[in-house]
Structure 1
Amino acid sequence: MRRPAPARLLALSAALAAAVALGGCAASGGSTEPASSASDHGGDEHGGSTATATAGTANEADIAYAMGMAAHHEQAVEMSEIVLAHDGLDERVADLAERIRDAQGPEIAQMEAWLEAWGADTSDMAGHGDHGMAGMQSEEDLQAMRDADAGDAQVLFLEAMVEHHEGALDMAEAHLEEGADPDALALSEQVIATQRAEIDEMRALLDELA
């Protein structure tokens, strides 16, 4: 018998509810029939999984994860671009922001390709960032980062991105418990490995720069 979902599944609950509410996303048996085969986008610079979706293996948790994590990644890309717009950043912070932007952009495309292949209704994806997902920053937080000078902006960026990454870890770990699609599960494992290392890197930078 399947064991009860752990408490950390609350990190995905809002996104899952939204995915189910869209209707038609999942078959009654919990799996979806893909509308078409996703094209293979290839792995990213971290050696991640391809965008090829396995027909008939996605369940509601996979759909919720892809929708939620795509929106989550979009904010990470936005934060990276905000801090990179400042002149005079510590070169290590600039390098980190570029790596986050360059890695997560392709992962967004990857997840969007899966959702299309799974036949998910993505018309409301733009609103998923407002569903209280773990680690998401408010518009006020983002504006403070825009308005700060380079020294303060990079500290705000590191603090916010640590929190943001920790939220992504919760979502990925929850997905590993409940998801079914092999490629989506591989991406969750990649997110966990990459973002844990980046959290350590950012905390070390904060100890020096804050």
Structure 2
Amino acid sequence: MSISRTHVLVAALATVLLAAGCSDDSTTTHTTEHSTTTTTSAAASTDFNDADVSFLQMMYPHHAQAVEMSKMVPSHTQNQQLIALAAQIEQAQAPEMQQITDLLTGFGKPAPSATEGHGGHDMPGMMTGAQMSSLDAANGADFDKQWLEMMISHHEGAVGMAQAELNSGVNPESRQLATKIIADQETEIATMRGMLGQN
């Protein structure tokens, strides 16, 4: 009788311990998952500084103007080299505008505006309204020359902004974008300078 009671007590104790063990595991797992989620979320929302935000907010309308200038090309010139270059610039910068929007949204910042700073005074290399009107009124070789000179200045401004991001920004994706902008646009500046020499 004594042995049977002992067996029953041992079995009951084992059941209680097993249940407690399961409960502890569940609680631990839940806590760990919650902690990990919180940490990841915090990292995603704090891994940037004012330099990153400023760079992205300025680069968006800067890119928008370059795309606008590129769209003018096919209707203003027959220069196939210039038409191809403009298409290349548009194809590179339009997706970067979406990337900029996604990054700013991830930072909890408002979506950027294509017209912000469009007066040409807030960002290096931006064309004024008068310059854009002059470009739109030109055709042929005159258009080619104006467009190349303006886009070289525009690209130089973008390179300067991207360099400032590399100097002061901390967000890895923003810095990676800045590095790409410098590489792409310095190559295009060299191409455009060569094309100006041909005109």
Match of 2:94 in 1: 105
Q: How does 1:128-147 map to 2 (within 5 A)?
A: 128-130=117-119, 131-147=121-137
Cα displacement (A) at 1:129:
2.8
Normalised to the residue count of structure 2, the TM-score between the two structures is 0.74
CA deviation map 1:154-210 (0-9, x unaligned): 11110000000000011000010110110110010000011000000000000001x
Q: CA RMSD in A?
A: 1.8
The one-letter amino acid paired with 1:60 is D
- The DSSP-based 3-state class of the residue aligned with 1:201 is helix
CA deviation map 1:12-47 (0-9, x unaligned): xxxxxxxxxxxxxxxxxxxxxxxx9xxxxxxxxxxx
- Report if aligned partners of 1:83, 1:145 keep a CA contact under 8 Å in 2: no
- The whole-number CA distance in structure 1 between the counterparts of 2:137 and 2:143 is 8
Tell me which moved more, 172-181 or 147-156.
Answer: 147-156
- Report if aligned partners of 1:162, 1:202 keep a CA contact under 8 Å in 2: yes
- Report if aligned partners of 1:54, 1:183 keep a CA contact under 8 Å in 2: no
Cα displacement (A) at 1:54:
4.6
CA deviation map 1:72-95 (0-9, x unaligned): 00000011111222242x111110
Match of 1:175 among 149, 153, 165: 165
Cα displacement (A) at 1:100:
0.3
Match of 1:56 among 35, 43, 46: 46
Match of 2:194 in 1: 204
Question: Could you list the runs of 4 or more consecutive aligned residues of structure 1 that deviate by over 3 angstroms after TM superposition?
Answer: 122-126
Tell me which moved more, 96-105 or 149-158.
Answer: 149-158
Choose between structure 1 and 2 for higher RCO, CA contacts under 8 A separated by at least 6 residues.
1
Question: Which entry has the higher C-alpha Rg, 1 or 2?
Answer: 2
Identity among equivalent positions (%) equals 35
- The whole-number CA distance in structure 2 between the counterparts of 1:155 and 1:137 is 15
- The whole-number CA distance in structure 2 between the counterparts of 1:103 and 1:198 is 11
- Report if aligned partners of 1:87, 1:150 keep a CA contact under 8 Å in 2: yes
Normalised to the residue count of structure 1, the TM-score between the two structures is 0.70
- The whole-number CA distance in structure 1 between the counterparts of 2:111 and 2:131 is 27
- The DSSP-based 3-state class of the residue aligned with 2:115 is helix
- The whole-number CA distance in structure 2 between the counterparts of 1:171 and 1:188 is 8
Count of residues in correspondence between the two structures: 157
1:80 aligned to 2:73?
Answer: no
- The whole-number CA distance in structure 2 between the counterparts of 1:78 and 1:136 is 12
